Amino acid sequence: MKIGYIHLDCGEWSTDSYNVQEIGLAKALEQIGHQTTIVYWMPREDKRCGKEMTITPNIKKVYLPYRMRFVHHILPDFPLLLFLEIDVFHLQSDNLLCVPEAVNFCQKHGLKHYCYVGTVHSSSPKAISRWIMDKLSSRNFSAFRKTKVFCKTPAVVDELKQKGVTSAEWAPVGLDTDIIPLTINSKEELKKELELPHNKIIVFLVCALRPDKHPMDIFPLAEILGNKYLLVHAGTPWMQTEEYMKKLKSNDIYKNISFVGKIPNEKIHAYYEIADYVINFNPNEIFGMAILEAMYHNVTVVARHAPGPDCIIKNGESGFLCNSVEEMSQIILSDKKVQNARKQIIEYFTWESTAKKFLDYIQH
């Protein structure tokens, strides 16, 4: 069977510094004996537009032109999909504006399909923008009521069911364990390679410098924890870079913060290995791939309550959930640790189990 992983936004957002969801799912489907075509919608002037890229004999990427664009929302040229000989369409939906058109296209042409949803709300840092986009994307609920919908978290399942989407079912994002390198060096050797002190407790944060990720919360946390701790922050420079760097230089106490910027995926796992804690500040985290990665390394994760962390972490057993920076600091200062983080990921959060959920629906 050939599955089409159809993005409904603009461009290819995945990079070498992230655990790419579409590739992880495609590899799981390949192991079961299926092919995956991953479709990205591009501007016509992009040099990749109209081309294909082979990842494995059973996985390929296809870049197609969209018709119109509004920020990262687009109107795809859906008829182009008919030439790809796809058997089942995985519609990567969320709150994107073209979801109704995508579902209608599949139904009009009798194409097997389902939607995969991580959020039904805008994450814009501007309140007015969030309100406008949520109003515009509210038409998606009607589309979801007409088809099968898989959700990344139970919170989204509950919200959709409240909107009358009775088909909503939980199918969590999985971790692609194949791309996690086998660590040979000891923790002390890794610290030396990364030029990190041996006498500090390492608190690791992975998040881009953008408002919705709440990276500025690292500063009050650093003040509370003090110099016994080193807060290592990896993330893509973005909207808050200037504000962040200015704050970093404003007080000597922030010398216990080390911003290492964007790190390729194959290198970030060394930081997980040496971390005593991994933290997540985002109160609106849709899922949290960094949380999955950290827990696979059996690191103790301390995260703010949000749909993703609440779904992944069993509080006090496989990690810790909290409501504020102050509460987060209390957990870290108390030296609380967990031992079952990796077990939680292996049992519930691999792409193999999620792929089987998709296929069970398709086949039955």
* 136 and 102 part of one domain: yes
What is the reported pLDDT for 315?
97
What are the distances in angstroms from CA 88 to CA 4, 39, 53, 168, 359? 6, 13, 20, 18, 10
* 163 and 198 part of one domain: no
Question: Which amino acid would we find at residue 269?
Answer: H
* 118 and 186 part of one domain: no
> Do residues 278 and 204 touch, judged by C-beta distance below 8 A?
yes
Neighbours of 91 (CB within 10 A): 25
> Do residues 116 and 152 touch, judged by C-beta distance below 8 A?
yes
Single pTM value for the model: 0.89
* 53 and 156 part of one domain: yes
Q: Which residue(s) pair with 229 in the sheet?
A: 201
Residues 6+ apart with CB under 8 A from 227: 253, 255, 256
CATH number at residue 267: 3.40.50.2000
Q: What is the DSSP string of 217-255?
A: GHHHHHHHH-TTEEEEEE----TTHHHHHHHHTS-GGGG
Model pLDDT for residues 305-358, shown as the tens digit of each residue: 999 999 999 999 999 999 999 999 999 999 999 999 999 999 999 999 999 999
* 354 and 323 part of one domain: no
User: How many structural domains compose the chain?
Assistant: 2
DSSP state of 39: E
Task: Name the residue with tokens 């031992």.
Answer: 339
What is the reported pLDDT for 256?
97
Per-block mean pLDDT, blocks of 10 residues, the chain (364 long): 97 70 95 97 95 97 96 93 97 96 98 96 82 89 98 96 97 90 87 96 97 96 98 96 97 97 90 97 94 96 97 97 98 96 93 95 91
* 61 and 203 part of one domain: no
Measured distance CA(206)–CA(327) in Å, rounded: 19
* 168 and 41 part of one domain: yes
Measured distance CA(5)–CA(356) in Å, rounded: 15
* 69 and 197 part of one domain: no
What is the reported pLDDT for 18?
57
Model pLDDT for residues 118-145, shown as the tens digit of each residue: 999 887 778 888 888 888 889 999 999 9
Which residue in 171, 166, 73 sits closest to 122, CA to CA? 73
What is the reported pLDDT for 122?
85
* 32 and 54 part of one domain: yes
Neighbours of 164 (CB within 10 A): 11
* 101 and 231 part of one domain: no
* 9 and 124 part of one domain: yes
Element (H, E) at 92: strand 88-92
What is the reported pLDDT for 150?
98
SS3 state of residue 187: helix
| Range of the structural domain that residue 339 is part of | 177-348
* 322 and 189 part of one domain: yes
Measured distance CA(231)–CA(240) in Å, rounded: 18
